[in-house]
Amino acid sequence: MRFAPLYPKEKPSSPPCPHKTSVNCDVLVVGASPSGIAAATSAARSGADVILLDKEMGGRFDHPANTFFDGMFRRAGLEVEREYVLHDLAGMRIISPGGCAVEIAAPGKFIDRSRFDSIYLKRAEGAGVRLMRGEAKSAPHSGSGRRVETDAGDIGARVVIDASGVDGLISRKEGLSPLKHPEDVAWAAEAVVELSGLGEERRFEYFVGSVSPGWKATFSPGGGDLATLGVFVRGHGRDVRGYLDRFVELFKKYKSGEYDVSEMKIVSINRGGDAIAALPGEIVADSLMATGAAAGMSGIAYAMRAGTMAGEVAAGAAAAGDVSIRRLLAYPRWWRREFGLEYRMGRASLLTLGEMGDGEIDRLAFGLAKRDLGVPSSSTITSSTISSSSSSRTALSAGIAVARSHPRTISGLLRNFIKG
Ligand SMILES: Cc1cc2nc3c(=O)[nH]c(=O)nc-3n(C[C@H](O)[C@H](O)[C@H](O)COP(=O)(O)OP(=O)(O)OC[C@H]3O[C@@H](n4cnc5c(N)ncnc54)[C@H](O)[C@@H]3O)c2cc1C
């Protein structure tokens, strides 16, 4: 048995699991990123003996996500902590293909992701979670629970929570279809770049339209010289590097008046999937649950909230000795009450955006725009601003402005919302 806990726990909980494995627990969480760390912490705080397993544990995690809006954190019941914040942002600017900009006052953060992870991992450990390194291969039934086969030995668990990301292998192998619309995952390529002063800007910039079909290309300033440039593309396969290269060139042209863009250095490139419009499908079975991106619950903050729900339900089920699907269904019900409508609206909006041509997006943005940012364009722009202190008021004013400026968009939204 090569399996070595990184932080062994002195006292296993009782009663012991009925598995023929030398490592047992009540709840095993696979994947130590936002959803998995939150799931493990909440299960441990609810009294379960918990193992959090990740193939990168103790090594160098390579998690790409490093920005969020404060409103999402609040919505997920979390507090922003200064310790991991690298740069404060005042809001975002959405830029249409013709260069028409809509500004939204939504404060956000660019974070030091390694620091963020290590803070939350320490908290998990403090709650009693055992952190272990290993790659889970499958999680067949064993007794009333599961036996998780890993490259470092087997682990027995009453409940397994698959938090292994958008390609979440465990739940799929065990017969679940955790993404309702896997075809709508946005595939991303994001470059970490350095250019003197670029990171000091105070707004995210989202470029929409054919530059990054189906969703957005992003500029996220990270403070100082640091920024990221990314494309999140739906419906064009996993390899979106060509879109990133084109976006980087467009971005350089766009910023060439303000910076010496020939000095811009690409430090590294992250790739992966963002389950932004995929929605949760079947996410529970007997003694098995999926959460976070593995279950179509995307975004750092929302993945953490979903993980927290999963962990609490799993711990309650393990303690009650009933880990049947009937008991575990409390988790998706709880999630739907909190987030179901919002996710369906989000998906409908993205599908509607994906159906619009560049000209249509320009006309829509024209009705909402604050000012022309000077991106080479055939359209001429006038101004209006969407700005509000709360994200729901922002959404409402945006909705009203959209309805006024481009009524056809509303029917598209409704159609896609009904389709789910
Ligand atoms: C390029 C890119 C940029 C993004 N930027 C942002 C952003 O700025 N803000 C935002 O909110 N969201 C962003 N997202 C989305 C975000 O990454 C996800 O929504 C979020 O990470 C979901 O977290 P998670 O915990 O569910 O899964 P993940 O973060 O994907 O983590 C999965 C974990 O599981 C581990 N793992 C996988 N398979 C196994 C296995 N078999 N055994 C053991 N361990 C395993 C992995 O090592 C990893 O640690 C971005 C996505 C991409 C691809």
pLDDT digits (tens, 9 = 90+) for 22-44: 799 999 999 999 999 999 999 99
Strand pairing partners for 52? 29, 131
Q: Residue 335's pLDDT is what?
A: 98
Q: How far away, in angstroms, is 293 Cα from ligand 1 center?
A: 7
Pick from 246, 262, 143, 256: nearest CA to 191:
246
Which tens digit of pLDDT belongs to each residue from 122-143? 999 999 999 999 999 999 999 9
Which residue's alpha carbon is nearest to atom 28 within ligand 1? 165
Contact between residue 89 and residue 195 where contact means Cβ atoms under 8 Å apart: no
Pocket test for ligand 1, best of 28, 41, 42, 63 (most atoms within 8 A of CB): 63
The CATH code of the domain at 67-71+85-110+185-275+344-419 is 3.30.9.10
The domain made up of 23-61+114-182+277-340 is a member of CATH 3.40.50.880: no
Q: Residue 68: CB within 6 Å of ligand 1? A: yes
Pick from 231, 299, 302: nearest CA to 75:
302
Residues 81, 270, 35, 395, CA torsion sign: positive
Q: Residue 377's pLDDT is what?
A: 39
Which tens digit of pLDDT belongs to each residue from 49-66? 999 999 999 888 889 999
The C-alpha angle 99, 101, 107, rounded to 5 degrees, equals 140
Q: Residue 3's pLDDT is what?
A: 39
How far is it, in rounded angstroms, from Cα 191 to Cα 208? 18
Q: Residue 202's pLDDT is what?
A: 97
Which residue's alpha carbon is nearest to atom 13 within ligand 1? 65
Q: How confident is the model at residue 354 (pLDDT cuts 50, 70, 90)?
A: confident
CB atoms within 10 A of CB 2: 8
Question: For the chain, which residues make up each domain, given as ranges?
Answer: 23-61+114-182+277-340, 67-71+85-110+185-275+344-419
Q: Residue 167: CB within 6 Å of ligand 1? A: no
Which residue's alpha carbon is nearest to atom 6 within ligand 1? 65
Alpha-helical runs (H) found in 184-297: 241-255
The DSSP secondary-structure symbol of 308 reads H
Mean pLDDT of 400-413: 57
| Predicted confidence (pLDDT) at residue 84 exceeds the cutoff of 70 | yes
Q: Residue 68's pLDDT is what?
A: 96
Q: Residue 384's pLDDT is what?
A: 34
Pocket test for ligand 1, best of 298, 304, 309, 350 (most atoms within 8 A of CB): 298
Ligand 1 atom, smallest distance to 166 CA: 30
Q: Residue 135: CB within 6 Å of ligand 1? A: yes
Contact between residue 25 and residue 52 where contact means Cβ atoms under 8 Å apart: no
Which tens digit of pLDDT belongs to each residue from 206-238? 999 999 999 999 999 999 999 999 999 999 999
Strand pairing partners for 138? 149
Q: Residue 22's pLDDT is what?
A: 76
The percent of residues above 70 in pLDDT, for the chain, comes to 83
Q: Residue 2's pLDDT is what?
A: 38
Q: How confident is the model at residue 246 (pLDDT cuts 50, 70, 90)?
A: very high
Alpha-helical runs (H) found in 279-377: 300-320, 325-328, 330-335, 341-355, 358-368
Q: How confident is the model at residue 400 (pLDDT cuts 50, 70, 90)?
A: low
